[in-house]
Structure 1
Amino acid sequence: MSFILGEKENLTLEDLRWKNRIVIYFPAKHHYPQFDLKSLEDELSERKIIFLSIPEHIQSNTAVSFDKNYLNALRENLSSSIAEGNWILIGLDGGIKLNKKGEPDWDYIFRTIDSMPMRQLEIKRIK
Protein backbone atom coordinates (compact mmCIF):
# COMPACT_ATOMS: atom_id res chain seq x y z
CA MET A 1 0.00 0.00 0.00
CA SER A 2 1.51 3.33 -0.96
CA PHE A 3 0.95 6.62 0.79
CA ILE A 4 1.98 10.13 -0.06
CA LEU A 5 4.47 10.23 2.80
CA GLY A 6 6.33 7.03 1.95
CA GLU A 7 8.51 5.87 4.80
CA LYS A 8 9.27 9.13 6.59
CA GLU A 9 10.21 8.56 10.21
CA ASN A 10 9.09 10.39 13.36
CA LEU A 11 5.91 11.85 11.98
CA THR A 12 3.24 13.74 13.83
CA LEU A 13 -0.47 13.74 13.09
CA GLU A 14 -0.02 17.22 11.64
CA ASP A 15 2.24 15.71 8.94
CA LEU A 16 -0.68 13.56 7.81
CA ARG A 17 -3.25 16.37 7.74
CA TRP A 18 -4.98 16.85 4.36
CA LYS A 19 -3.22 13.71 3.07
CA ASN A 20 -4.75 10.86 5.06
CA ARG A 21 -7.60 9.98 7.36
CA ILE A 22 -6.37 8.24 10.49
CA VAL A 23 -7.89 5.57 12.69
CA ILE A 24 -6.03 5.16 15.97
CA TYR A 25 -6.84 2.23 18.22
CA PHE A 26 -5.80 2.28 21.86
CA PRO A 27 -6.24 -1.29 23.14
CA ALA A 28 -7.36 -2.01 26.66
CA LYS A 29 -4.51 -2.53 29.08
CA HIS A 30 -2.82 -5.92 28.56
CA HIS A 31 -4.92 -6.56 25.40
CA TYR A 32 -2.92 -6.70 22.19
CA PRO A 33 -5.18 -7.76 19.31
CA GLN A 34 -3.79 -8.40 15.85
CA PHE A 35 -5.75 -7.07 12.89
CA ASP A 36 -6.03 -8.66 9.46
CA LEU A 37 -5.23 -5.45 7.62
CA LYS A 38 -4.56 -7.32 4.37
CA SER A 39 -8.28 -8.06 4.02
CA LEU A 40 -9.05 -4.34 4.46
CA GLU A 41 -6.27 -3.09 2.18
CA ASP A 42 -8.48 -1.96 -0.71
CA GLU A 43 -10.98 -0.13 1.52
CA LEU A 44 -8.23 1.55 3.54
CA SER A 45 -6.34 2.63 0.44
CA GLU A 46 -9.42 3.91 -1.39
CA ARG A 47 -10.36 6.09 1.60
CA LYS A 48 -6.76 7.16 2.30
CA ILE A 49 -6.84 5.68 5.81
CA ILE A 50 -3.78 5.10 7.93
CA PHE A 51 -4.57 2.69 10.75
CA LEU A 52 -2.49 2.74 13.92
CA SER A 53 -2.92 0.34 16.81
CA ILE A 54 -0.90 1.73 19.69
CA PRO A 55 -0.24 -0.76 22.45
CA GLU A 56 3.39 -1.43 23.42
CA HIS A 57 4.34 -1.98 19.77
CA ILE A 58 2.58 -0.17 16.96
CA GLN A 59 0.66 -2.09 14.28
CA SER A 60 -0.16 -0.22 11.08
CA ASN A 61 -1.10 -0.63 7.43
CA THR A 62 1.80 1.60 6.38
CA ALA A 63 5.48 2.12 7.10
CA VAL A 64 5.10 5.47 8.88
CA SER A 65 7.05 5.83 12.09
CA PHE A 66 6.36 7.86 15.20
CA ASP A 67 8.63 8.69 18.11
CA LYS A 68 7.83 6.57 21.20
CA ASN A 69 7.38 9.69 23.37
CA TYR A 70 4.97 11.12 20.79
CA LEU A 71 2.95 7.88 20.82
CA ASN A 72 2.78 7.99 24.62
CA ALA A 73 1.55 11.60 24.45
CA LEU A 74 -1.11 10.57 21.91
CA ARG A 75 -2.28 7.80 24.22
CA GLU A 76 -2.51 10.22 27.17
CA ASN A 77 -4.29 12.93 25.17
CA LEU A 78 -6.61 10.89 22.97
CA SER A 79 -7.33 7.63 24.78
CA SER A 80 -10.56 8.09 26.70
CA SER A 81 -10.97 4.57 28.04
CA ILE A 82 -7.78 2.76 28.99
CA ALA A 83 -9.71 0.07 30.86
CA GLU A 84 -11.88 -0.88 27.86
CA GLY A 85 -9.87 0.46 24.95
CA ASN A 86 -11.08 2.97 22.40
CA TRP A 87 -10.53 4.12 18.84
CA ILE A 88 -10.77 7.47 17.13
CA LEU A 89 -11.27 8.57 13.54
CA ILE A 90 -9.41 11.70 12.49
CA GLY A 91 -10.55 13.36 9.27
CA LEU A 92 -8.45 14.89 6.53
CA ASP A 93 -8.78 18.25 8.28
CA GLY A 94 -7.17 16.85 11.44
CA GLY A 95 -10.39 16.95 13.47
CA ILE A 96 -11.67 14.04 15.54
CA LYS A 97 -14.79 12.70 13.79
CA LEU A 98 -15.49 9.66 15.99
CA ASN A 99 -14.34 8.45 19.42
CA LYS A 100 -15.74 5.04 20.39
CA LYS A 101 -15.05 2.36 22.99
CA GLY A 102 -13.96 -1.13 22.02
CA GLU A 103 -12.20 -2.34 18.88
CA PRO A 104 -12.60 -0.51 15.54
CA ASP A 105 -15.88 -1.17 13.75
CA TRP A 106 -14.70 -1.01 10.14
CA ASP A 107 -18.17 -1.05 8.54
CA TYR A 108 -19.19 1.91 10.72
CA ILE A 109 -15.91 3.71 9.97
CA PHE A 110 -16.28 3.22 6.21
CA ARG A 111 -19.94 4.34 6.24
CA THR A 112 -19.05 7.42 8.29
CA ILE A 113 -16.21 8.40 5.99
CA ASP A 114 -18.31 7.74 2.88
CA SER A 115 -20.96 10.14 4.17
CA MET A 116 -18.48 13.01 4.65
CA PRO A 117 -18.57 15.87 2.09
CA MET A 118 -14.89 15.55 1.13
CA ARG A 119 -15.29 11.81 0.57
CA GLN A 120 -18.39 12.44 -1.54
CA LEU A 121 -16.25 14.68 -3.78
CA GLU A 122 -13.61 11.95 -4.00
CA ILE A 123 -16.26 9.43 -5.05
CA LYS A 124 -17.57 11.79 -7.74
CA ARG A 125 -14.04 12.30 -9.09
CA ILE A 126 -13.50 8.53 -9.25
CA LYS A 127 -16.66 8.09 -11.35
Structure 2
Amino acid sequence: MNAQDLLKHQWEDRVLLLIAHNTNTPKFQNQLKTLQNQEKNLKDRKLVIYQITPSYYCQGVFSEENKWTKRPELYQKMKTNDNTFEVILIGLDGGEKLRQNELLTIDKLFAIIDGMPMRRAKTENKN
Protein backbone atom coordinates (compact mmCIF):
# COMPACT_ATOMS: atom_id res chain seq x y z
CA MET A 1 0.00 0.00 0.00
CA ASN A 2 1.08 3.54 -0.61
CA ALA A 3 -0.53 6.95 -0.33
CA GLN A 4 -1.98 6.43 -3.81
CA ASP A 5 -4.11 3.62 -2.35
CA LEU A 6 -5.71 6.08 0.04
CA LEU A 7 -7.09 7.92 -2.98
CA LYS A 8 -9.50 5.03 -3.58
CA HIS A 9 -11.39 6.32 -0.53
CA GLN A 10 -11.70 9.91 -1.81
CA TRP A 11 -15.36 10.98 -2.02
CA GLU A 12 -16.36 7.54 -0.67
CA ASP A 13 -14.95 7.29 2.85
CA ARG A 14 -13.27 9.29 5.55
CA VAL A 15 -10.01 7.66 6.68
CA LEU A 16 -8.52 7.46 10.16
CA LEU A 17 -4.86 6.46 10.25
CA LEU A 18 -3.50 5.04 13.51
CA ILE A 19 0.28 5.16 13.23
CA ALA A 20 2.65 3.68 15.80
CA HIS A 21 6.17 2.34 16.06
CA ASN A 22 4.66 -0.69 17.80
CA THR A 23 1.04 -1.84 18.15
CA ASN A 24 1.64 -2.85 21.78
CA THR A 25 2.13 0.71 23.03
CA PRO A 26 -0.49 1.85 25.57
CA LYS A 27 -1.67 4.79 23.42
CA PHE A 28 -2.18 2.58 20.38
CA GLN A 29 -4.03 -0.10 22.37
CA ASN A 30 -6.21 2.50 24.11
CA GLN A 31 -7.08 4.08 20.77
CA LEU A 32 -8.15 0.71 19.39
CA LYS A 33 -10.33 0.04 22.44
CA THR A 34 -11.94 3.46 22.07
CA LEU A 35 -12.90 2.71 18.47
CA GLN A 36 -13.91 -0.94 18.80
CA ASN A 37 -17.17 -0.18 20.59
CA GLN A 38 -18.25 2.32 17.94
CA GLU A 39 -18.60 0.20 14.80
CA LYS A 40 -22.14 1.36 13.93
CA ASN A 41 -21.34 5.04 14.54
CA LEU A 42 -18.13 4.82 12.53
CA LYS A 43 -19.91 3.18 9.59
CA ASP A 44 -22.63 5.81 9.73
CA ARG A 45 -19.91 8.45 9.38
CA LYS A 46 -18.28 6.53 6.51
CA LEU A 47 -15.03 6.11 8.43
CA VAL A 48 -12.40 3.54 7.38
CA ILE A 49 -9.56 2.84 9.81
CA TYR A 50 -6.01 1.81 9.00
CA GLN A 51 -3.50 0.56 11.55
CA ILE A 52 0.02 1.40 10.37
CA THR A 53 3.43 0.38 11.71
CA PRO A 54 6.90 0.89 10.20
CA SER A 55 6.69 -2.32 8.20
CA TYR A 56 3.03 -3.40 8.12
CA TYR A 57 -0.51 -2.07 7.80
CA CYS A 58 -4.03 -3.43 8.04
CA GLN A 59 -7.48 -2.01 7.48
CA GLY A 60 -9.97 -2.19 10.34
CA VAL A 61 -10.09 -2.61 14.10
CA PHE A 62 -13.05 -4.91 14.61
CA SER A 63 -11.57 -8.32 13.90
CA GLU A 64 -8.97 -10.29 15.76
CA GLU A 65 -8.03 -11.72 12.38
CA ASN A 66 -7.08 -8.48 10.65
CA LYS A 67 -4.87 -9.24 7.68
CA TRP A 68 -1.56 -7.43 8.05
CA THR A 69 0.35 -6.66 4.86
CA LYS A 70 4.06 -5.95 4.71
CA ARG A 71 4.58 -2.52 3.17
CA PRO A 72 6.52 0.32 4.81
CA GLU A 73 5.68 3.03 2.25
CA LEU A 74 2.55 4.39 3.92
CA TYR A 75 4.27 4.75 7.29
CA GLN A 76 7.19 6.54 5.68
CA LYS A 77 4.90 8.89 3.74
CA MET A 78 2.43 9.75 6.51
CA LYS A 79 4.59 9.84 9.66
CA THR A 80 5.77 13.41 10.20
CA ASN A 81 7.47 13.46 13.59
CA ASP A 82 9.40 11.36 16.07
CA ASN A 83 6.45 10.63 18.35
CA THR A 84 5.69 6.95 18.81
CA PHE A 85 1.96 7.47 18.15
CA GLU A 86 0.04 9.58 15.67
CA VAL A 87 -3.59 9.84 14.57
CA ILE A 88 -4.55 11.39 11.23
CA LEU A 89 -8.11 12.05 10.02
CA ILE A 90 -8.61 12.45 6.28
CA GLY A 91 -11.89 13.83 4.97
CA LEU A 92 -13.99 12.73 2.02
CA ASP A 93 -12.18 15.30 -0.12
CA GLY A 94 -8.83 13.64 0.65
CA GLY A 95 -7.65 16.55 2.78
CA GLU A 96 -6.10 16.17 6.21
CA LYS A 97 -8.58 17.31 8.87
CA LEU A 98 -6.70 16.39 12.06
CA ARG A 99 -3.25 15.23 13.10
CA GLN A 100 -2.37 14.65 16.74
CA ASN A 101 -0.08 12.60 18.96
CA GLU A 102 -2.55 11.98 21.75
CA LEU A 103 -5.49 9.62 22.14
CA LEU A 104 -8.40 10.80 19.99
CA THR A 105 -11.61 10.68 21.99
CA ILE A 106 -14.81 9.55 20.33
CA ASP A 107 -16.46 12.85 21.26
CA LYS A 108 -13.74 14.86 19.52
CA LEU A 109 -13.68 12.55 16.47
CA PHE A 110 -17.44 12.70 16.02
CA ALA A 111 -17.56 16.47 16.63
CA ILE A 112 -15.00 17.03 13.86
CA ILE A 113 -16.77 14.70 11.42
CA ASP A 114 -20.25 15.96 12.30
CA GLY A 115 -19.06 19.52 11.69
CA MET A 116 -17.87 18.75 8.16
CA PRO A 117 -20.06 20.27 5.42
CA MET A 118 -20.86 16.99 3.66
CA ARG A 119 -21.78 15.30 6.95
CA ARG A 120 -24.00 18.23 7.98
CA ALA A 121 -25.72 18.13 4.60
CA LYS A 122 -26.36 14.39 4.97
CA THR A 123 -27.76 14.85 8.48
CA GLU A 124 -30.00 17.74 7.38
CA ASN A 125 -31.33 15.71 4.44
CA LYS A 126 -32.33 12.87 6.81
CA ASN A 127 -34.52 15.24 8.84
- TM tier relative to shorter chain: 0.7 to 0.9
In the superposition, relative to structure 1, how do residues 16 and 25 fare at CA in structure 2: closer, same or farther (>3 Å)? same
1:84-103 pair list within 5 angstroms: 84-103=84-103
Is 1:22 equivalent to 2:20 in the alignment?
no
- Structure 1, unpaired ranges of 5+: 1-8
- Aligned: 1:115 with 2:115: yes
Structure 1 outlier segments of 4+, above 6 Å: 62-66
Q: 1:118 to 1:66 in 2, by over 3 A?
A: farther
Q: CA deviation at 1:76?
A: 1.1
Q: Residue 50 of structure 1 corresponds to which residue in structure 2?
A: 48
Question: Structure 2: which 5+ runs fail to align?
Answer: none
Matched letter for residue 43 of structure 1: N
1:93–1:106 Cα change, 3 Å: same
Q: Measure the CA separation in 1 of the matches of 2:7 and 2:67.
A: 13
In the alignment, the residues of structure 2 paired with residue 114 and residue 120 of structure 1 have an alpha-carbon distance, to the nearest angstrom, of 6
Alignment partners' CA distance in 2, 1:59 and 1:14: 14
Identical amino acids, percent of aligned pairs: 28
The amino acid that maps onto 2:110 is: F
Distance 2:116 2:106 in 1: 16
Relative distance call for 1:48 and 1:66 in structure 2 (3 A) is farther
Q: Once the 2 structures are TM-superposed, how far is the Cα of residue 101 of structure 1 from its aligned partner? A: 0.8
The TM-score with structure 2 as length reference comes to: 0.75
Aligned to 1:68: 70
State the alpha-carbon separation in 1 of the partners of residues 118 and 108 from structure 2. Answer: 17
- Compare the two structures and name the one with the higher strand fraction: 2
Of residues 60-69 and 17-26 in structure 1, the stretch that sits farther from structure 2 once superposed is 60-69
Q: Aligned-residue CA RMSD in angstroms?
A: 2.9
Aligned residues: 116
- 8 Å CA contact 2:10–2:94 kept in 1: the answer is yes
Q: C-alpha distance in 2, partners of 1:65/1:90?
A: 22
